[in-house]
Structure 1
């Protein structure tokens, strides 16, 4: 599976500096270990995907849906943070307290946008992101820049 290769590449990659607003394509999907949500504040929109085991069918389905549309997520400044080991008790897991499979979408300001116990298509995620005031401002700014 291609998403597994992306995940393995992310594990091997060095951590992103908190001030680095750009991630390499293989760093769109990163492990939760050693991360905090604060390092993405005002830089990225964290999409945190939790499961109690990487073999959870809902987790596998969610990661396949994400892998199919990584470009749409990258365009919306999304970083996918994965955590499939509850025993590791990552800081992000401790903060968000998921139960089994669950994903959380956070805004750039750290506010929760979505919390769902079932997989969602990237199209649905994109629509939720596109309704956010900051995202609408980003689109307007990009449009104004292109007109100049």
Structure 2
């Protein structure tokens, strides 16, 4: 004999399915959610000696270069998180954010800022995660971080 569920229990379980599915999708990509932050209110000084900000500017979130760059960054979030990278996005030029005033982008721009707060790289087109990580891996502070991890 096959066990059956009461109609009420079936209804209750089925009502939770829409809630469970989004949680499973979010749980599958925790790296990407920890990586990207809105840059309109960000302060680069708050990341000093803690994170390496990668700032992605565009005049609109619909800019194809912006979409391509964000897809590339979120697809390989683990490599960036391993290098203490945080991605800040700013797609509203009218807001005149602190990031825009300091870094002065024109249209799409990718800016890599070191842990020391200095601008290390400016690119007017999307970059791959591999290109970014290779640049980061050449920084003296990154070489020191890798050496410290080996010693542990």
> TM-score, normalized by length of structure 1?
0.81
More helix by share: 2
Which runs of structure 2 are paired with 1:61-140 in the superposition (5 Å)?
61-140=68-147
CA distance in 1 between counterparts of 2:63 and 2:108 reads 8
Q: Give CA deviations for 1:84-132 in whole Å, capped at 9, x if unaligned.
A: 0001111011110000000100110011111000000000000000000
Q: Show the counterpart of 2:45.
A: 38
CA distance in 2 between counterparts of 1:43 and 1:140 reads 17
RMSD between superposed Cα atoms in Å: 1.5
Structure 2: state its 5+ residue gaps. 1-21
CA distance in 2 between counterparts of 1:27 and 1:72 reads 13
Aligned length: 124
CA distance in 2 between counterparts of 1:39 and 1:72 reads 22
> TM-score, normalized by length of structure 2?
0.78
